Structure 1
Amino acid sequence: MNPTPSWLALRGRWAVPAASGLLILASLAGSRLAGSETWGDLLMVAAAVVAGAPVVRKALSALTARVIGIDLLVSVAAVGAVVIGEYWEAAAVTFLFTVGHALEDATLSRTRSALAELVAVAPDVAVVLRDGEQVEVPAARVGLEETVLVKNGAKVPVDGVVTGGTGALDEASITGESIPVEKTAGDRVFAGTVSTGGFLQVRATGVGADTTLARIIHRVEEAQDARARTQKFMDRFSAWYTPAIIVLAVGLGLLTRDVVLALTLLVIACPGALVISIPVSVVAGIGRGAKDGILVKGGEFLETSARIDAVALDKTGTLTQGRPRVTDVVVLDAAGGPGSVDEDEVLRYAARAEAGSEHPLARPVLEAAAARGLGTPGLPTRTEPVPGQGIVAHLDGHRVAVGNLALLRAEQVVGSEEDGQAARVVADLARRGRTPMVVACDGHAVGVVAVADEIRPDAPEMVRRLHAAGVRKVVMLTGDVEPVARAVGDAVGIDEVRAGLLPEDKLEAVEALRAQGYTVAMVGDGVNDAPALATADIGVAMGAAGTGVAIETADIALMKDDLLKLPEALSLARRTVTTMRQNIAIALATVAVLMLGVLLGGVTMSVGMLVHEASVLVVIANAMRLLRRRASAAPGGPRTPAPGGDVPRGPSRRTGHPQHV
């Protein structure tokens, strides 16, 4: 980044207070050394004019827009002080006010550091492979589908997919994750991330303003400028408060005939700390979240998130991995069947039959067979899908059926009776949340293969941290059937499980929670959960780094697919709102004490302004504490693995139960 603009801004920020301060020093020196009160007074008036001119201009500009603000109070007080001969008070008030503004501007810039850092990581150039040659071009000039080369230490200039090479990327600017992520062919990469080793060839899928980084910068800009509900109230309060103070000061002056007292009241009653208490907290909170991969839509949503006391979660892909796998292979007594079989033989029968199936659970069976090194040579001679029950395949002269008990009974398979061994094993696996598929060969049940999804390792810890952060109820809303949903809920620690839901049922469930008085956050995949996400007080999109729509539309977008980011986001919102309240209390207490001091005597105009500006800096410093990274994002220490580990994807047509919605 070019340092010149920052240096010019710094010079401009301090130019007026520096000139005014030098004139004040010259006035004091002239009065004492030269013994000339006239020269001292002239220099003091000059100091007041230099510092006060920008303030008066802002006040007049605000008046043309029918806004009565703090600048008007200071302008009236300074001009009045000059008129009655209180030159030192006029100079001191305007000087301290401009110093306060300069410090305020500097510290507000500091709170926006997250946005500045995001802009700083935006890449300037890219190395593109064109006609077999490496060509360096501006990052914005890279074309879609072009191949970009990312070398060790270089920034990734585009969003894209790795087509060749291996390497590690620091993705902290996008996801907040400080540990570099290994990338190989097929993996997604994001503009602004930095290579920490290796060499990657990347096919560009997003360039310029269409990259994830550009969308994040745009979102943070909008969010930091958006006003919170409390801030809007404070703006309305200030619009009435400032004229009221002017009327009070005029009334006090007429009543006491003490112009200095009236002008002093104008100065110390300035609600500067009150006005800045909300925006500086919002900017700092949103900035901290952006650094940690948590994008909040604006101050209003930050405030609402602080009140969240119920969280609704989808199951598949949120609490679970969303990738089913074979968890059990059970051998049955196949009396009169094809001879002695073992687990591998049962799995091989199932895999060969599933090789001709389009069912979603066919893939995990085939993957399990491949992982065990079991060959599945050739496709079945013929396959007969049986809707809602399973599949029948002809393999090397054998008739193999894979499905639920209804299929086996239709096939008149021995062992499929209600009190048979197969039925007992199926019932036991279903109780444990598995999706069982019975395997039969030539009319005899030989085994049962069970498929399940896995709980995310950090799901139980996420629920525990949500409770520790003040969430009273965590609810799972899922399309799976009750036994499966209950198995997941019990393993994770969910307070309430609602199963067998269609998208419109999830919407009604969220509405019911809100009707009970809860402030609800809904976490889902944004597709079949869209109605519920829109109905909830806060819609949360997880793993939004690769989804431009989620970044732009979600109330909270968690860039990394990390469940623990959810309690971290709610904790950040609560800390931000607490800081806002602390700042309001500091501002109001300062004004109250100063006003009491003026009425009782002892607080001069310059002392009042000094304390006032000090309160502004205290408010800003308090808000800046939000920018510090906490040692633990949420109460509770390290992540803990899920007990058990395996949970179901959901009963399918193979068990006679409906598949996951």
Structure 2
Amino acid sequence: LLGWALVSVIAAVALVGIAGERLGLVEALVERIPPWLALAAVLAGGYPIFLNVVRALRNRAVTSHALMTLGILGAIAIGQYAAAAVIVFFMRLADFIEGHTTERSRQAIRELLKLAPDTARVEREGREVVLPAEQVDRGEIVLVKPGERIPVDGTVLEGRASVNQAPITGESVPVEKQAGAQVFAATICERGALRLRTERVGRDTTFGQIIRLVEEAEASKAPVQRFADRFTAYYIPVVVAVALGTYLVGGRATAAVATVLVACSCAIAMATPITVLAAVGRSARRGIIIKGGRYLEALAKVDTVVMDKTGTLTLGRPEVTDVLALEGESEAGLLALAASIERRSEHALAAGIVGAAEGRALVLREPKEFEVYPGEGVAASVDGISALCGTERLMARLGIGVPEPVVAQARRLAEQGRSVVLVARAGRITGLVALADTIRPEVESAIAALRALGVRRLLLLTGDRREVAAAVAHRLGVDFEAEVLPEQKIRVVERLQREGRVVAM
């Protein structure tokens, strides 16, 4: 509301000025202003500006205010005190707008800082004590209760909890954390309690580094800002030379000063930093971290956008739709086995399987010797027997044969856009679990907006089966590459860059 109020005031001032000029009221008003009053207004209002110009010149720097100061001095020299006062007024108005924008950006940083808790529960000498978060030492044990924000970066030693990592990763779905998992400061322990070992505190945490990035972004200059500075440095000598030439040719000081005054807008020198600052600050309030103005400008050149599927194009909350148990297995037994294997996994599909089993009140066993195969599945020992959940590719790599009926059923389910998890025990396939994730309601409009902005290629990059990726990509009208492991995704981006594309992911 304050921003719109400011725009309204500026628009009103501009409208009154234009109307007054057309009706001759401005000239009449200027004639009635006593010179001493106008001069006093120039000195009182322009003092901070003049001081900054002098300081900049001492450092051999030229700012946009230098030319305007020259114009003010020229106007005073020929007795146009009211004109000098008008220039000061608009300079201060521009400074006010920039100051207002800067303050809003700083407020965005202050709002981000509020996400980090001020205190931490620490175990010291067998007692639980509450300390300021910045006084926690590396290696100390921190306790986090349900509903609290985690005060440090660390590793979970004991406990199990559902943690909302949206302030750090942007994930909309809480992530299950247990012994061995990494947690971040400013994330929220929504369900469960944790006992963790501190690794980083304060500005050294991941959250602290995000804050630093925002601060550096606001302090850094975009290429257009650097151009504006260079433009001003070359522009002023040219204007002064033209003004001197005007005086030498015509012999009129008024014409020379008028030349300087006409050139006093320097809008590009003032507008660009304000624009970048406002964009960085507003983005920070929306949870978007921009490292600097040059990245804002780079966005305008992007012609290819690469996207993950789970949690990006979809809600990231897969739900079990089908459970296919082979002969000798029950659906409930298969689901309980799959959920037991997946209990320690942080993948969204694992959360869906565990949630389905808990929803049916099935008894889950504690997995031993848990092992993750990134992008392919997980393995564990359940009741002393080796068990496995994962893709057909993982089964083949580990030498586990998949019966043809299971392959055919998995393909049919995948063609319907469902993710298929094969389940094996003691080296034999026992069945499969299929899950479906819902495409985010805003995705189609976002893709349309990207195309309207000139993005020529949109690429879905996923580790899921080709049939699943094809179903999602066909619905959204984008290209896709499937069965891509996490470490392979960077290679896809590098390949696109070698093809001459400007890629955002």
TM-score interval (norm. to shorter): 0.5 to 0.7
Partner of 2:106: 112
Structure 2 SS opposite 1:308: coil
Structure 2 match to 1:520: 503
Shift of 1:403: 3.6
2:463 is the alignment partner of 1:465: no
Q: Does the Cα contact within 8 Å between 2:387 and 2:423 map onto a contact in 1?
A: no
Q: Give how far 1:135 is off.
A: 4.1
Match of 2:304 in 1: 310
Structure index of larger Rg: 1
Correspondent of 1:59 among 48, 53, 75: 53
Q: RCO (CA 8 Å, sep 6+): is it higher in 1 or 2?
A: 1
Q: How does 1:280-429 map to 2 (within 5 A)?
A: 280-315=274-309, 328-330=322-324, 343-344=330-331, 347=334, 373=362, 379=384, 389=396, 403-405=401-403, 425=409, 428=412
Superposed displacement of residue 249, structure 1: 2.1
Q: Identity of counterpart residues, as a percentage? A: 34
> Deviation string for 1:347-373 (max 9, x for gaps)?
399879x99xxxx99999999888674
Q: 1:71/1:220 Cα in 2 relative to 1: closer, same or farther (>3 Å)?
A: same
Deviations 1:244-281 (A, max 9, x none): 22222222233333322322332342234321212112
Task: Summarize the alignment of residues 10-89 of structure 1 with structure 2, pairs less than 5 Å apart.
Answer: 45=39, 48-89=42-83
* Residues 373 and 424 of structure 1: CA distance in aligned 2, closer, same or farther (over 3 Å): same
- Which residue of 1 is the match for residue 8 of structure 2? none
- Contact 1:326 1:365 (8 Å CA) reproduced: yes
Provide, for residues 88-134 of structure 1, a one-character-per-residue CA deviation record: whole Å limited to 9, x for no partner. 44455446534643554244323432123334665555454433555
CA distance in 1, matches of 2:287, 2:55: 40
Match of 1:143, SS state, is: coil
1:449 aligned to which of 422, 431, 444: 431
Q: Is the 8 A contact 2:335 2:433 kept in 1?
A: no
Q: Distance in 2 between matches of 1:289 and 1:204?
A: 33
Whole-angstrom CA distance in 2 between matches of 1:349 and 1:139: 41
- With over 3 angstroms needed to count, the CA separation of the structure-2 counterparts of 1:506 and 1:109, relative to structure 1, is closer
8 Å CA contact 1:171, 1:193 repeated in 2: yes
Q: How far is 1:215 from its partner?
A: 1.8
The amino acid across from 1:468 in the alignment is A
Residue 294 of structure 1 aligns to a residue in which SS?
Answer: coil
1:147 aligns with 2:142: yes
Residue 498 of structure 1, aligned match among 481, 490, 500: 481
- Shift in alpha-carbon separation, 1:200–1:345, aligned structure 2, 3 A: closer
CA shift for structure 1 position 423: 7.2
1:271 aligned partner, one-letter code: S
Q: CA deviation at 1:168?
A: 11
Matching residue's letter, 1:146: I
8 Å CA contact 2:164, 2:173 repeated in 1: yes
Query: What CA distance in whole angstroms lies between the structure 1 residues aligned with 2:329 and 2:192?
Result: 46
SS of residue paired to 2:431: strand
CA contact (8 A) 2:320 2:436 kept: no
Give the residue type in structure 2 aligned to 1:465.
Answer: A
CA distance in 1, matches of 2:94, 2:398: 77
Supply the AA of the counterpart residue of 2:432. A
Determine the C-alpha separation between the residues in 2 that align with 1:161 and 1:246: 64
Alignment match, 1:535: none
Q: Look up the SS of the partner of 1:311 in the other structure.
A: strand
What's the TM-score, normalizing by structure 2? 0.65
* Contact 2:173/2:317 (<8 A) preserved: no
Name structure 2 gaps, 5 residues minimum.
Answer: 1-30, 366-381, 389-393
Cα deviation digits, residues 408-434 of structure 1 (max 9, x gap): xxxxxxxx7xxxx67765664565566
Shift of 1:475: 1.1
Alpha-carbon spacing, 1:272–1:89, altered in 2? closer, same or farther (3 Å): same
Matched with 2:225 is 231
1:180–1:287 Cα change, 3 Å: farther
Paired residues of 2:161 and 2:194 also in contact (CA < 8 A): no
In structure 2, what is the Cα distance between the partners aligned to 1:330 and 1:309? 43
Change in Cα spacing, 1:64 to 1:107, as seen in structure 2 (3 Å) is same
Paired residue total? 441
* Change beyond 3 A, Cα 1:203–1:350: closer
The farther-off stretch of 425-434 and 98-107 is 425-434
Counterpart residue number, 2:273 = 279
2:234 aligns with: 240
Instruction: Render the CA deviation track for 1:32-75: whole Å, top value 9, x for unaligned.
Output: 9xxxx9xx766755554455554444334433444443332233
Indicate the residue corresponding to 1:252 in structure 2: 246
How much has 1:468 moved relative to structure 2? 2.8
Change (3 A) 1:149 1:255: same
Q: Is the 8 A contact 1:44 1:88 kept in 2?
A: yes
Secondary structure of 2:264's counterpart equals coil
